[in-house]
Amino acid sequence: MAKLLEHNDKGIYCEVADVYIDPWKAVKKAFITHAHADHARPGSSEYVCVDASKNIIKHRLSTQNVSSIPFGETLSVNGVKFSFHPAGHIIGSAQIRVEYKGEVWVVSGDYKTEKDHLSGEFAPLKCNTFITECTFGLPVFNWRPQAEIFSDINEWWAKNYADKKISFVSAYSLGKAQRVISGLDASIGKIYCHAAVENINEIVRDSGFNIQKTFRLDPDVPRKELEGAMIVAPPGFMNSNFISKLKNVDLASASGWMNLRGARRRRSVDRGFVLSDHADWTGLLDTINATEAEKILVTHGYVNVFSKYLQEQGYDASILETEYEGDEVELESTADESV
Amino acid sequence: MKAFSKLFQKIEQTTSTNAKVKALVEFFEEAPDPDKIWAIALFTHRRPKRTVSTTFLRLWAAELANIPDWLFENSYHIVGDLAETIALVLPVNKVSVDKPLAQWITEIAALKNEPEEVKKEYIIEAWNALDKNQRFLFNKLITGGFRVGISQRLITKALSKYLEVDDSKIAHRLMGDWSPFDISFQDLMVSEDFKDNISRPYPFYLAYSVEKELEDLHPVEEWSAEWKWDGIRGQFIYRENEVFIWSRGEELVTDRFPELHTIPNGLEYDFVIDGEILAFYEGQPMNFQHLQKRIGRKSVGKKLIKDVPVVFMVYDLIEYKGEDIRQLPLKERRSLLNQLVKESNSENLILSEQVEFTEWSELRALIEEARARKTEGFMLKNLHSPYRDGRKKGDWWKWKVDPFTIDAVMIYAQRGHGRRANLFTDFTFALWDGDRLVTFAKAYSGLTDVEFQELSRFVRKNTIERFGPVHSVKADLVFELAFEGIQESKRHKSGIALRFPRILRWRKDKKASEANTLADIKTLLD
Ligand SMILES: [Zn+2]
Ligand SMILES: [Zn+2]
C-alpha cells in the first residue's frame, strides 16, 4: 500500500487527497504550515492554511487564492481528514495532522515548545508517523527561558539609552520581529521598525493580534530622534547604508544561532541574543517522545546526526530529503536591503 | 573567575575598541596582581602547559551530558571549538563557586602527575560548579587558544592607560619569553630594572600592503626599496655574549639555526637586528619549501644544515651598543647597520641591499623580476621613519607581486560550521592529467554569500557520493584560484603543493574541459 504521505520532487504529497504540504514547486492544492519562505512558496493554484495565517500568506505570496479554517477544525478531502494545530513557531504557524482510515500522520512544520504571547501554544499530537523539523537538533542547543533573554535585551537597551546610543536588533521580519517587539519594555524608549517588519505588524494587528505601538522607520527621520531608540529590522538591513552611516549604534541579533560564538562573530554584532523560534534539543526529544509515533521522519537541519541519534534511542527514524536551503535568517539576509 | 568571565563577556559583546579597552582597565583596577598577569598572559597567547588530555575531556563531557561519544564529536565538528562544545552540552550547573583565575590555573597545573581518576573528579566538580561562560573559560585554561577579539595592541593600550606608561614601553615589556609562573605582575610591568631579561626582543614593526598609487609616496628621494625576501622574519639578539633568535611569531628559535650563532664574529658590543632567516645556497636564496624543512625540527642534523644552509638577511638595526635606537631615522640606523655588517664580516650575515631608483616607474619594471629573484616583491620604507611597533600605516609598505592563478575544477565540497552547516564552504579542486582529474588544492573564502548559496545548491543537486561531511561532486564548475607559490610534494597525488591557495572567482564562462592541466601548473615549478 502506498504511504499516506509521500515525498516527491514537488514536496510532501498526499496522493489520496491530491494535496501537497509546504510544496517547493507550484501545485494544484497546497496546505501550508506557516508563511515563511521555505514553507510557503508562490505559484500554486490554491492554498489552505489556518485562519491566523491567512492574511500573512496573502501578503507574502501576493495571491487571493487562500482559504482557511480555525485551529482544531477538520477539513475532509476525498476522505482524508486534515486539521491545523498550533506549532508555537510564529503567528499562525501550524502542525498539520492528516488522518485516513485510522492512520495518523503529523507534519510539524517549524515548531517551538516554549509558549509566547503570539504563536499559540504548542502541544504534541499523538500519531503513527511524525515528520519533524530539527533545525537545532544537536545537544549544544539548549535555550534559556525567554523571560531571561528579554530582560537581557531590555537591560542592554536601557544602557544604550543612557549612553544616547541607538539599539539595533536584527530579526527576520515575520515572526521573530513581532516576538522581539512583544518582549520590549516600551517605557525605555521609542520602537522603530523597518518597513518590511512594519508591514507585517500592520497585517498582524489587523488580524486581531495585540502588538504594541511601533513607528515606521522613515529613511529621512532626523538622526537625533533615533538617539536612545530601538530599531527592529531584518538581518539584511544591518549592512545597509542607513545603518553603516550611523555612528552611535549598537548592533544585536536575536536568533538561536547566537548560541554559538562563531555565529556571533561572523555576523559581527555587538550582542547576540539567543532567542529562537524553534524547539531546542530537549524540546525536540520530548516532543518526539510525546507523539508516541512509530515512525519518525526528520527534515530541516542536522538530519543525519539527529536521525542517527533517534535510531540509537530505538526509534524507527529516517531522513526526509527536502530542498531546504537554510533557516529564515539566511533566506532574508539577502533581501530587505533598503528601508 | 567571575570577574574574568565578566571581562571576557564585555569584550565579546562589543566591537568597539574603546569599550574593550575600558573593560580591560576596569578589570585591572579590581583584580589581584596574579589574576592580572594571568589575564595578560592568556590574551597574549601564553598558556600553561596542558595537564589533562583533550581526549579525556571529550569522553567525560559526553558522559556527563549523557550523550554518545559520536554525537559529542559531531557536535564538536559543527561548533568548531572544543571548550565551547563542552560548555554547551553540559547540564546547567546547580551549585556555583568563585575562585580567583590564578588559583584555577595553579590547581589545573597541579594535576599534571595525578592519576586519571583524580583529574576526572576535579574536572567534573569544576564543571558542575561553573556557569556556561565560566565553564567555557575554564576549558580554555586547559585546552588553550583564547581567540578573542583582543590584539596585542589593544592589551598594550589598556595597560598603558591603567599604568599611565607610554604604550611602546608596555609593548616592549610584553615581548619575549615570560610566564606568570616565574614572574610577578610588578616585575613584568612596573619594576624599574627590567633589563634583567637579556633575551627580551622588541616588538616587530609590520607593514601594510601598499594601497595608494606609488606616486603618492613622495618625494621619491625619501623612500628606500628593498626586496621582500621569502623566509622567516626574525630578530637576532646579541647581549652579554649570548645569542637569541626570535621568529615573528614570538617563538625562540635560537637552537634551530646554529650556523647563525657565529654572526657576532668577535664583535664586542651588544646589538639587536631585524631581518629574514633565509635558506641560502651558494650565494642564492632557495625556495621557501626548503626552509620549511628546518622550521619543523627542534634539533637539526648536520646533513640538513649542509643541504639547507641559512643566512640572516638583515634589514634594520634596533639596538646598538646596548642602546635602543628605534627612534633614530631609518637612514641613520642603516648607516650604523652597514658598519656593523662590515665589522662582523660573517658570511652568514648579509645586508638586504637597498635597490637604487630615482623614479617609481623603474621599480614597476623591476618588480617583474621579483619571482626570478626568489622574492615576494618590495618593501618600501621612508628614510626618516623610526622603527615603530606593531602594524602601523604610513612609513613602511609592502608591495607584493601579483599572485599566480590557475583555472581548476571543483570536485569535492565540505559543509561549513555553525550556522553555515547548511552551506558548503570548503572545496577541493582538481586539474586535468590526460582525461583524469587530479586533486591538487583545497581552498575556501573568496566568494560572496550569494555565490556560496548558489554553489551549495549546485552541490546538493550534483552530489555523487557522501563521505561524512564531504561530498564528491559532478565535475562541472571551474574556479580561478590564486596562490603565492608552488613546490613539489610527495604527499600529494598531484605531486605539488601550493602556498596560500584561495578562490579568486567563479569562472562561469568556462566549461570543466577548459580548466588547466597538471602540466600547465608544473611549468611554474623550477
Ligand atoms: Zn519557519
Ligand atoms: Zn522552516
pLDDT tens digits for range B212-244 = 788 888 899 999 999 999 899 999 999 999 999
Among candidate residues B29, B360, B311, the one with its CA nearest the CA of residue B212: B360
Could you tell me the pLDDT band of residue B499, with boundaries at 50, 70 and 90?
confident
Does the CA dihedral B389-B392-B397-B403 come out positive or negative?
Answer: positive
Whether residue A70 is predicted with pLDDT greater than 60 in this model: the reply is yes
Mutate which of A9, A138, A140, A258 to test chain B, going by most B C-beta atoms within 10 A?
Answer: A140
Could you give the CA distance from residue A40 to residue A22 in angstroms, rounded to a whole number?
A: 6
Put simply, whether A45 touches B (Cβ < 8 Å) is no
Whether residue A336 is predicted with pLDDT greater than 50 in this model: the reply is no
CATH superfamily of B205-400: DNA ligase/mRNA capping enzyme (3.30.470.30)
Among candidate residues B184, B65, B206, the one with its CA nearest the CA of residue B124: B65
The cell 581518576 sits on which residue? B117
Whether residue B377 is predicted with pLDDT greater than 80 in this model: the reply is yes
Give whole-number Cα distances, A262 to A236, A279, B17, B61, in Å. Answer: 19, 21, 19, 21
- For residue B238, how many C-alpha atoms fall within 13 Å in the half-sphere facing its CB? 20
Closest ligand to C-alpha of residue A132 is 2
Could you give the CA distance from residue B168 to residue B146 in angstroms, rounded to a whole number?
A: 24
- For residue A122, how many C-alpha atoms fall within 13 Å in the half-sphere facing its CB? 29
**Does ipTM come in above 0.90?**
yes
**How near does any CA of chain A get to the CA of B390, in Å?**
24
Could you give the CA distance from residue B225 to residue B227 in angstroms, rounded to a whole number?
A: 7
Put simply, whether A314 touches B (Cβ < 8 Å) is no
Q: In this complex, do B79 and A264 lie within 8 Å of one another by their Cβ atoms? A: no
Summarize pLDDT for B148-200 with one digit per residue, the tens. Answer: 767 888 999 999 999 999 888 888 888 888 899 989 999 888 887 665 678 88
Ligand 1 centroid–CA A329 distance in Å is: 10
pLDDT in the model for residue B392: 83
pLDDT in the model for residue A328: 42
Could you give the CA distance from residue A216 to residue A234 in angstroms, rounded to a whole number?
A: 13
The residue annotated as part of the active site, out of B119, B140, B228, B374, is: B228
Whether residue A332 is predicted with pLDDT greater than 60 in this model: the reply is no
Give the gyration radius of chain B's Cα atoms: 26
pLDDT in the model for residue B468: 65
Domain A6-140+277-319 and domain A146-273, same fold? Reply is: no
- Residue pair B171/B390 in contact (Cβ under 8 Å)? The answer is yes
Summarize pLDDT for A224-250 with one digit per residue, the tens. Answer: 999 999 999 998 888 788 988 888 999
| Nearest CB partner across the interface for B422, out of A266, A308, A325 | A325
Whether residue B121 is predicted with pLDDT greater than 90 in this model: the reply is yes
Domain A146-273 has CATH 3.90.1150.10: no
Could you tell me the pLDDT band of residue B419, with boundaries at 50, 70 and 90?
low
Which is more confidently placed, B419 or B102?
B102
Q: Which of A49-53, A161-165, B299-303 has the lowest mean pLDDT?
A: B299-303
Could you give the CA distance from residue B40 to residue B35 in angstroms, rounded to a whole number?
A: 9
Amino acid at A152: D
Which is more confidently placed, A133 or B292?
A133
**How near does any CA of chain B get to the CA of A18, in Å?**
26
- Residue pair A322/A24 in contact (Cβ under 8 Å)? The answer is yes
Whether residue B449 is predicted with pLDDT greater than 80 in this model: the reply is no
> B251 Cβ partners below 8 Å, 6+ apart?
none
Could you tell me the pLDDT band of residue B83, with boundaries at 50, 70 and 90?
very high
- Residue pair A144/A173 in contact (Cβ under 8 Å)? The answer is no
Could you tell me the pLDDT band of residue B431, with boundaries at 50, 70 and 90?
very high
Could you give the CA distance from residue B71 to residue A98 in angstroms, rounded to a whole number?
A: 33
Domain A6-140+277-319 maps to which CATH number in 3.60.15.10, 3.90.870.10, 2.60.40.10, 2.40.50.140?
Answer: 3.60.15.10
Could you give the CA distance from residue B446 to residue B443 in angstroms, rounded to a whole number?
A: 9
- Residue pair A204/A90 in contact (Cβ under 8 Å)? The answer is no
Whether residue B345 is predicted with pLDDT greater than 50 in this model: the reply is yes
* Element containing residue B466 per DSSP (H, E): strand B463-467
Could you give the CA distance from residue A134 to residue A302 in angstroms, rounded to a whole number?
A: 6
Whether residue A222 is predicted with pLDDT greater than 50 in this model: the reply is yes
**How far does chain B reach from its first CA to its final CA, in angstroms?**
55
Q: Which residues surround ligand 1, an ion (CB under 5 A)?
A: A 36, 110
Could you tell me the pLDDT band of residue A335, with boundaries at 50, 70 and 90?
very low
Prior bond to B219 cis, omega within 30?
Answer: yes
Residue B228 known to be catalytic: yes
Put simply, whether A257 touches B (Cβ < 8 Å) is yes
Work out the mean pLDDT of chain B and round it to a whole number.
89
Whether residue A92 is predicted with pLDDT greater than 70 in this model: the reply is yes
Could you tell me the pLDDT band of residue B295, with boundaries at 50, 70 and 90?
confident
Could you give the CA distance from residue A50 to residue B449 in angstroms, rounded to a whole number?
A: 35
- Residue pair B443/B483 in contact (Cβ under 8 Å)? The answer is no
What is B404-522's CATH topology? Answer: OB fold (Dihydrolipoamide Acetyltransferase, E2P) (2.40.50)
Does the CA dihedral B132-B135-B137-B143 come out positive or negative?
Answer: negative
Give alpha helix (H) positions in B90-151.
101-110, 116-128, 132-143
- Domain-wise residue ranges, chain B: 205-400, 404-522
> A250 Cβ partners below 8 Å, 6+ apart?
A156, A160, A165, A166, A167, A168, A270, A271, B14
- For residue B496, how many C-alpha atoms fall within 13 Å in the half-sphere facing its CB? 25
Q: Which of B109-123, B238-252, B372-386 has the lowest mean pLDDT?
A: B238-252
Cβ neighbour number for residue A115 with a 10 Å cutoff: 14
Kindly identify which residue of chain B lies nearest to residue A139, measuring between CA atoms: B89
3-state DSSP call for residue A273? strand
**Buried/exposed A264-298: b ≥16 CB within 10 Å, e otherwise:** bbebebbbbbbbbbbbbbebbbebbeebebeebbb
pLDDT in the model for residue A168: 96
pLDDT in the model for residue B488: 84
* Element containing residue B226 per DSSP (H, E): strand B223-229
Whether residue A209 is predicted with pLDDT greater than 60 in this model: the reply is yes
pLDDT in the model for residue A323: 60
Could you give the CA distance from residue A52 to residue A69 in angstroms, rounded to a whole number?
A: 9
Phi and psi for B512 in degrees, rounded to 5? -55, -40
- Domain-wise residue ranges, chain A: 6-140+277-319, 146-273
Put simply, whether A70 touches B (Cβ < 8 Å) is no
With a pLDDT cut of 70, the percent of chain A lying above it is 94
pLDDT in the model for residue A190: 97
Q: How far is CA A115 from the centre of its chain?
A: 14
pLDDT in the model for residue A133: 94
Whether residue B432 is predicted with pLDDT greater than 60 in this model: the reply is yes
Give whole-number Cα distances, B331 to A123, B317, B338, in Å. Answer: 78, 11, 11
Cell numbers of B259, please?
650556523
- Residue pair A89/A257 in contact (Cβ under 8 Å)? The answer is no
- Residue pair B409/B477 in contact (Cβ under 8 Å)? The answer is yes
Amino acid at B406: I
* Element containing residue B411 per DSSP (H, E): strand B404-415
Put simply, whether A321 touches B (Cβ < 8 Å) is no
- Residue pair B377/B323 in contact (Cβ under 8 Å)? The answer is no
Whether residue B418 is predicted with pLDDT greater than 60 in this model: the reply is no
Contacts B417 to A, Cβ<8 Å:
262
Q: Which of A138-142, B69-73, B420-424, B507-511 has the lowest mean pLDDT?
A: B420-424
> B228 Cβ partners below 8 Å, 6+ apart?
B370, B375, B376, B377, B378, B379, B398, B399, B400
Cell numbers of A60, please?
507574502
3-state SS string for A65-119:
CEEEECCCCEEEECCEEEEEEECCCCCCCEEEEEEECCEEEEECCCCCCCCCCCC
Could you give the CA distance from residue A200 to residue A216 in angstroms, rounded to a whole number?
A: 11
pLDDT in the model for residue B63: 97
Summarize pLDDT for A278-330 with one digit per residue, the tens. Answer: 999 999 999 999 999 999 999 988 899 999 999 999 999 999 876 654 444 44
Q: How far is CA B30 from the centre of its chain?
A: 32
Cβ neighbour number for residue A249 with a 10 Å cutoff: 18
Q: In this complex, do A262 and B418 lie within 8 Å of one another by their Cβ atoms? A: yes
3-state DSSP call for residue B320? strand
Mean of the pLDDT values across residues A89-111?
A: 97
Which is more confidently placed, A112 or A219?
A112
Mean of the pLDDT values across residues B394-401?
A: 91
A218: DSSP letter: -
Could you give the CA distance from residue B54 to residue B380 in angstroms, rounded to a whole number?
A: 45
